[in-house]
Amino acid sequence: QKEVEQDPGPLSVPEGAIVSLNCTYSNSAFQYFMWYRQYSRKGPELLMYTYSSGNKEDGRFTAQVDKSSKYISLFIRDSQPSDSATYLCAMSAEDSNYQLIWGAGTKLIIKP
């Protein structure tokens, strides 16, 4: 079993829809949680960075962390065709020297 599980998709939604992307994990020591966006043939780009549990909002993006369920989510409101990309979750813990453990990514397609 992978430490971090992420549905590979593709997830296809119409423009303007609310998108929900999720990751589950098994290591309860994870404290830092990140979402990256990766366009085709480009490097990952940081979208959201959260510590411990709770919500964080930045424009159209909201990140949620539920440590009791070992579950993190990224919500995208008013989705745009430019949001079409692969979304990667990553997480780390102090006791493993902050080494990032990555999900395999979810491919998102926003249809105009």
Which residue stretch of 13-21, 53-61, 64-72, 99-107 sits at the interface with another protein (rule: CB under 8 A)? 99-107
**Distance (Å, rounded) from C-alpha 73 to C-alpha 3?**
16
Residues shown for the chain: 112
Phi-psi group of 96: left, alpha or beta (phi > 0 → left; psi -120 to 50 → alpha; rest → beta)? alpha
Residue closer to another protein, measured from CB, 17 or 100 = 100
Please check whether residue 92 is in contact with residue 101, taking contact to mean a CB–CB distance below 8 angstroms: yes
Which range, of 12-20, 34-42, 55-63, 70-78, touches another protein by CB under 8 A? 34-42
The residue count for binding another protein (CB under 8 A) is: 27
Closer residue to another protein (CB): 14 or 43: 43
* Contacts to another protein from residues 37-96, by CB under 8 A: 41-46, 49, 88, 90, 92, 94
**For residues 102 and 37, what is the distance between their CA atoms, to the nearest angstrom?**
13
